[in-house]
Amino acid sequence: MTTAERQRTAQELIRPQLPADLVQRGECPFDPAGGLTELSGQGRIHRIEHKGEIVWLVTGHDEARAVLADPRMSADRINSPRARKLISPELHAEMFPPERRAGSFIFMDAPEHTRYRRLLTGQFTVRRMRDLTPRIHEIVNARLDAMIEKGPPADLVQDFALPVPSLVICELLGVDYGDREEFQHRTAKLLSLHTTVDEQIKVNTDLRRFMHGLVRDKQRDPGDDLLSGLVRDTDLNTDELAGIANLLLIAGHETTANMLALGTFALLEHPDQLAKLREHPELVENAVEELLRYLSIISMGVSRHAKEDVTLGAATIREGETVVVSVPAVNRDETQYDDPHELRVDRPRGHHVAFGHGIHQCLGQQLARVEMAAGFTELLRRLPALRLAVPADEVPLRTDMSIYGVHALPVTW
């Protein structure tokens, strides 16, 4: 394999590529890419040819849900025809060894996916997440205590938005919170659009080593945490347990942290909506759903490939072709939402796809909702004078990451 092949970015190889005007956020940090908004007005599914690749881009709400619920649409992007075409067999084996694939059920189809999902569904019930609410409020207030004691200005990302979900998921999984910096740094590397293949291989190797150590600790001395329960109550092997723990740990802090920070930024930049939420704190659950819809931080989209020919509207997607569901466009479908480009914290809850749809719908969505509701409630209650400490256009955006948000959010009060 060539040096050039190894120096390509990992995201370029495993994620479908789209023109920049369809993915890069524009002048407003909360709106979808300008080209995406324009394209959405021209139809609901679009054939895009870019750098010699063909991608079907879905921007319609109903069409998106149809794709995500269709068993003929595969989530296995590691073994997709696109990946097999772009990655040599030698490099593919090095990037995706069997032990890395074990437990990574979000990249699996039924029935393989079903086996893992069933083992975990009972751990993330609405009731269990509601039972965690008092503890989550304690964690939120402890972080606010520390931030307030240190005094303004503060970086809301490092001082609040990142620690809260990290503490929650560490406690839920039984991970030592002292290890958070290690997995957070490695997660950031994995999600960067600029991480090379060699860098990704190293990071994944290091993460697997860390998770294997954690699993062995639970096997020797199980506790009452979720991972210990999987060790004790299932027949999963060490590779599978490490893969599941890795997946839950990364997903459990990264997306929620970005929603807390970007959501706060959006509220501060929409003072009428911020005032409405302060005046009516009972709207917080509606506000959470609206921010999920409005911000759509999975801005690169959700990809699938057709396992056979599939008709979608007037389009025929051929076997092996790639489909990308554009979450930012789908969540602003004008046939689904009134004034979709407006942020309204009192908007009635709708069927957004921020958490996906179908069998791969986010397993931890209820936990994320509880964390966001607690986070926004306590943040606005305890810091009534919260405001940006820098001009809005100086807030550093995560345009270099596969999950959108802000790298920092300087605030004062």
Segment 120-131 shows an average pLDDT of: 82
Indicate the pLDDT class of residue 123, thresholds 50, 70 and 90. confident
Q: Which of 12, 402, 7 has the alpha carbon at shortest distance from 192?
A: 402
pLDDT at 4: 64
pLDDT at 253: 86
Q: Please, which residues have CB within 8 angstroms of residue 408's CB and are 6 or more apart in sequence?
A: 155, 157, 158, 395, 396
Residue 338, pLDDT > 90, answer yes
pLDDT at 121: 86
SS3 296: coil
Q: What are the tens digits of pLDDT across the range 297-319?
A: 998 899 999 999 999 998 999 99
Q: What are the tens digits of pLDDT across the range 369-405?
A: 999 999 999 999 999 999 999 999 999 999 999 999 9
E strands present in 122-246: 154-155
pLDDT at 3: 62
Distance of alpha carbon 64 from alpha carbon 324, whole angstroms: 9
* String of DSSP letters for 1-23: --HHHHHSBHHHHHS----GGGT
Backbone torsions φ then ψ of 312, nearest 5 degrees: -130, 105
User: Are the CB atoms for 79 and 60 separated by under 8 Å?
Assistant: no
Distance of alpha carbon 81 from alpha carbon 346, whole angstroms: 44
Q: What are the tens digits of pLDDT across the range 95-118?
A: 899 888 899 999 999 999 999 999
Question: 108-112, 161-165, 209-213: which range is least confident on average?
Answer: 209-213
Residue 134, pLDDT > 60, answer yes
pLDDT at 2: 59
Q: What are the tens digits of pLDDT across the range 231-289?
A: 998 999 999 999 999 998 888 888 999 999 999 999 999 999 999 999 999 999 999 99
Segment 136-152 shows an average pLDDT of: 97
Q: Which of 398, 391, 379 has the alpha carbon at shortest distance from 156?
A: 379
Q: How far is CA 298 from CA 50, 111, 330, 353, 375, in A?
A: 21, 26, 11, 10, 20
Segment 9-37 shows an average pLDDT of: 88
For the chain, percent of residues with pLDDT exceeding 90: 69
Residue 132, pLDDT > 70, answer yes
Computed over every residue of the chain, the mean pLDDT equals 93
Q: What pTM does this model have?
A: 0.95
Indicate the pLDDT class of residue 16, thresholds 50, 70 and 90. confident
Q: What are the tens digits of pLDDT across the range 24-74?
A: 887 899 999 999 999 999 999 999 999 889 999 999 999 999 999 999 999
